[in-house]
Structure 1
Amino acid sequence: MRYLPVFLDLQSGKVLLVGAGDLARAKLRLLAAAGAAVRWYATDSDHDIAGLAAEDAARIECAEGDPLTADLSDVIAVLCAGAGEIGVAMSVRAKAIGLPVNVMDDLVHSTFIMPAIVDRGDVVVAVGTGGTSPVVARRIREKIEAVLPARIGDLAGFIGGVRKSIHARIEEFPLRRRFWERIVDGPIGALVLAGRKDEAEQALNAIADPAAFAGASAEGKAIGHVTLVGAGPGDPDLLTVKALRALQDADVVFYDELVSSEVLDRIRRDATRIPVGRRVGKPGIGQDAINALMIEAAQSGQRAVRLKGGDPFIFGRGGEEIEALRDAGVAYSIIPGVSAGLGAAAQFEVPLTFRHEALRITFLTAHKARDAEVVDWSVLTDKKMTVVVYMGMTAAPSIREGMLAAGRSPETPVGVFARVTRPDAKAAVGTLARLPELVKQVDGGPAILIIGDVVAHSAPWSRSNVTQLFSNQMFSELLKAAE
């Protein structure tokens, strides 16, 4: 993030606009709509402001003379649009005295950029692309416009009008936040959004005990809660809507090592983040310590999220954590996530089941060689069974030997799918006999192993066959040429 989004107080001074033509007038309309006082130097001396409302026009000063020598003592920002070389010179002057300056379509001479804006009164959404693609920003703005309630600004203003009086009645900050979340997400917020502000005020005034309404205990403390959230295999777009809401509502998040940084970016900025996971071969704090941290957080009134890679209930020890929370009498909820096995299947087009070919699926974990050694491979030799192995890279030789010894064909298609759904995802496909070699080809994990005939239907398998066919054809042509 090169540009920090900030909001400029337009009541604190004037905006200097330099430029002419449609470009300058577009900026003038934007500034007028925002209530800015504008001093406009039209570089073509045409100060036509026809079309602006009288109230907006009254805030526009049509200045004459050279903007490069103008008094800037009451100016808070400089905008140049359609100004040509004067815009560049104006940028140099503004920078010299520390004034924010924007020269349209010129990042080199700008210290801030103009975002695409969604205006809902007290609610303003700014969308930026670092100045690289205004069209992309506008498309994003259009999508936001489509889903943002028309009266969302009224709701913000409604809350602003009573915020201080409510805070005087609720001492704890977490309870204050929960109070407003219940207002925004509940019937009172719905009334404001429906244009029934008077009824909303009546409902708000009817709340006798704001702390109790926010979810306080009998002692006036916030009641804690733990949410187990499946983070999925890495792509943040695979998070569910409920998962995103939990991450935004959390006071503290305990996250695994394998949760991607992109998913962590979805956590509320001021939430406490505590890493509690471990990688293979590296020590962690232990499951008992993790359970204790979650229980302590909930009992102190915090909303805790236990963020786990994939799905909490597929080799994620979610069951153990739920039992600990139950025994401690802590309230909890569970939000499923996309398991890494399903993420690999979707990304690389591996149909885990296939009519007449694969009728059953087995999920197993084998992150150590001894894990693979204790597996009863004899129950996994059915050709119509797909085997999905989690954490199996280290144990790949033992997995191969176990399945071959049990009778699975060495020609069984297999795939190693690493870092699935992430930008650096990689696949290696081949046969069961070559499994350890395929593991080396993906350049590190985490990885999912899929064993079964369905791998032959995958996109990587199809590509490898095309490449092999092409190579064989070239070899044949070279032989013919040699003859």
Structure 2
Amino acid sequence: MRFLPVFLDLQTGPVLLVGAGDLARAKLRLLTAAGGRVRWYSTDGDHDLGGLAALDAARIELAEGDPLTADLGGVIAVLCAGAGEIGPAMSARAKALGVPVNVMDELALSTFIFPAIVDRGDVVVAVGTGGASPVVARRVRERIEAALPARIGDLAAFIGRWRKTIHRRIPEFQLRRRFWERVVDGPIGALVLGGRGAEAEAALQDIPDPSAFAGAAASGRAEGRVTLVGAGPGDPDLLTIKALRALQDADVVFYDELVPSEILDRARRDASRIAVGRRVGKPGIGQDAINKLLIEAARSGQRAVRLKGGDPFVFGRGGEEVEALRQAGVTYSVVPGISAGLGAAAQFEVPLTFRHEALRITFLTAHKARDAETVDWSVLTDVKMTVVVYMGMTAAPAVRSGLLAAGRSPQTPVGVFARATQDDAQAAVGTLDELPALVEKIDGGPAILIIGDVVARSAPWRQSHLAQPVSYLQVAAE
């Protein structure tokens, strides 16, 4: 993010607009719609306001003379739209005086840029691309326009009228936020969005105990809870809607080290973020300590999210955490995620089952060589069984040895699929006998091993039988 989105109060001073034609008039309409006062220097001498309403036109000062010598004292911003050669010089003047400046379509000359705007009264959405592509910003705006209720601004104004009253009645911040969430998401919010504002006012007035309405515990404090959320294999677009909602509601997020920052960024901005996971070869705080943190957070009235890579119940120790929360009497819920094995299979087109060919799937973990040594490989020799191994890179030699000793063919197709669904995803495919060498071709984990005839139907296998590491982007390009 190069440009920080901010909202500028245009009623604190005049805006200097330099330019002419439709480009300048478009900026006039935008600035006056925001209540701004505009001092307009028309570079072609034509001050035609293009049909602006009289009320808006009253905010516009039609300036004469050379804008390069204009007094910039008290000016809160300088805009150049259709200004031609004057633009660079105006930019230099504004920058020298520390006045924010925008020269249309000249990113290097600007200290701020205009986003695409969705205007719903008290609700304003700004969409920017850092000046790279206004067309993309407009397309995103169009989608937001279609999704936002027409009266969402009325809902914001409704809440604004009641904020001080509810603040006095619910002094605790967490409980007050939950009160408003219930209002927005419930029948009262629906009344406002449906144009029935008077009924909404009456319904809010009739709430006898706002704290109880917000879900306060017997102590009068906000009731805490823990939500175990599956973050999926890495692609933030694979998060479920329920997972996104939990992240947006969270007061604190306890996350694994393997959860990408792009997914963490989906959490509420003011939520605390605490890393509690560990990576191979590095110490972690331990499961008991994690359980204690979750319980303490809930008992303090916070809504905690335990964010796990993949799915909480697939080698994510979610069952242990649920057991600890249950014994502590903490309210909890589980939001499933796409497990890494399924994400890798989908991305690299490995059908984990296939009619008459692969009828069973076994998921197992082999974090270390000694983990692999404890597996009963004799039950995994069925040629119609696909074996999916989590955290198996280090134990790959032991996995190969165990399967070969149990009788699985050394020519069984296998794949090593690393960082599935992420931009740097990578695959190496070959045979079971080659498994350790395939792991060596991968530039770091985490990785999933898939063993079975179905690997021969994958995109990397079709591309090459030489077991060369293949990036997903390369596969897609083929």
Partner of 1:75: 75
Partner of 1:62: 62
1-structure distance, mates of 2:126, 2:114: 9
1-structure distance, mates of 2:445, 2:459: 20
Question: Which residues in structure 2 correspond to 1:10-25 (within 5 Å)?
Answer: 10-25=10-25
Superposition deviation, residue 208 in structure 1:
1.3
Q: Structure 1, residues 265-312: CA drift from partner, whole Å, max 9, x if none? A: 111111111111111222111111111110111011110000011000
TM-score (normalised: structure 1): 0.96
321 and 185 in structure 1: CA distance in 2 versus 1, 3 angstrom threshold? same
Partner of 2:139: 139
Superposition deviation, residue 383 in structure 1:
0.8
2-structure distance, mates of 1:159, 1:349: 49
Q: Structure 1, residues 382-415: CA drift from partner, whole Å, max 9, x if none? A: 1111000000000000000100111111110000
Partner of 1:240: 240
Partner of 2:227: 227
Question: Which residues in structure 2 correspond to 1:161-180 (within 5 Å)?
Answer: 161-180=161-180
Return the letter of the residue paired with 2:416: V
In the alignment of these two chains, the number of paired residues is 468
Contact 2:429 2:465 in 1 (8 A): no
2-structure distance, mates of 1:245, 1:98: 41
Partner of 2:432: 432
2-structure distance, mates of 1:70, 1:395: 73
Superposition deviation, residue 35 in structure 1:
2.1
Aligned to 1:140, the other structure's residue is in SS state helix
- Unmatched runs of 5 consecutive residues or more in structure 2: 469-478
2-structure distance, mates of 1:466, 1:444: 20
1-structure distance, mates of 2:212, 2:320: 32
Partner of 1:115: 115
2-structure distance, mates of 1:130, 1:173: 34
Q: Structure 1, residues 188-235: CA drift from partner, whole Å, max 9, x if none? A: 111100010000001100111111111111221111000000011111
Partner of 2:358: 358
Question: Which residues in structure 2 correspond to 1:174-323 (within 5 Å)?
Answer: 174-323=174-323
Contact 2:25 2:50 in 1 (8 A): no
Superposition deviation, residue 32 in structure 1:
2.1
Q: Is 1:391 aligned to 2:402, yes or no?
A: no
467 and 442 in structure 1: CA distance in 2 versus 1, 3 angstrom threshold? closer
Return the letter of the residue paired with 1:161: R
1-structure distance, mates of 2:161, 2:325: 40
Superposition deviation, residue 31 in structure 1:
1.4
Return the letter of the residue paired with 2:67: P
Q: Structure 1, residues 84-119: CA drift from partner, whole Å, max 9, x if none? A: 111111111111111110000101110000100000
Q: Which deviates more, 427-436 or 14-23?
A: 14-23
Contact 2:438 2:467 in 1 (8 A): no
Aligned to 1:157, the other structure's residue is in SS state helix
Superposition deviation, residue 466 in structure 1:
9.5
Q: Is 1:415 aligned to 2:415, yes or no?
A: yes
RMSD of Structure 2 on Structure 1 (CA): 1.1
1-structure distance, mates of 2:83, 2:168: 52
Superposition deviation, residue 457 in structure 1:
0.6
Aligned to 2:109, the other structure's residue is in SS state coil
Partner of 1:472: none
Contact 2:413 2:454 in 1 (8 A): yes
Partner of 1:88: 88
2-structure distance, mates of 1:183, 1:302: 19
Partner of 1:480: none
Aligned to 1:448, the other structure's residue is in SS state strand
Return the letter of the residue paired with 1:222: A
Return the letter of the residue paired with 1:160: G
2-structure distance, mates of 1:146, 1:173: 33
Superposition deviation, residue 467 in structure 1:
10
2-structure distance, mates of 1:291, 1:171: 30
Superposition deviation, residue 423 in structure 1:
0.7
2-structure distance, mates of 1:50, 1:63: 17
2-structure distance, mates of 1:59, 1:286: 63
Aligned to 2:108, the other structure's residue is in SS state coil
Sequence identity, in percent? 82
1-structure distance, mates of 2:252, 2:221: 17
392 and 239 in structure 1: CA distance in 2 versus 1, 3 angstrom threshold? same
- Unmatched runs of 5 consecutive residues or more in structure 1: 469-483
Return the letter of the residue paired with 1:121: G
2-structure distance, mates of 1:317, 1:50: 65
Partner of 1:444: 444
1-structure distance, mates of 2:44, 2:54: 23
Q: Which deviates more, 21-30 or 395-404?
A: 21-30
Return the letter of the residue paired with 2:73: S
Partner of 2:471: none
Superposition deviation, residue 26 in structure 1:
1.4
2-structure distance, mates of 1:158, 1:452: 60
Superposition deviation, residue 465 in structure 1:
4.2
Aligned to 2:410, the other structure's residue is in SS state coil
Superposition deviation, residue 50 in structure 1:
3.1
Superposition deviation, residue 33 in structure 1:
2.0
Superposition deviation, residue 139 in structure 1:
0.7
2-structure distance, mates of 1:116, 1:281: 47
Partner of 2:475: none
TM-score (normalised: structure 2): 0.97
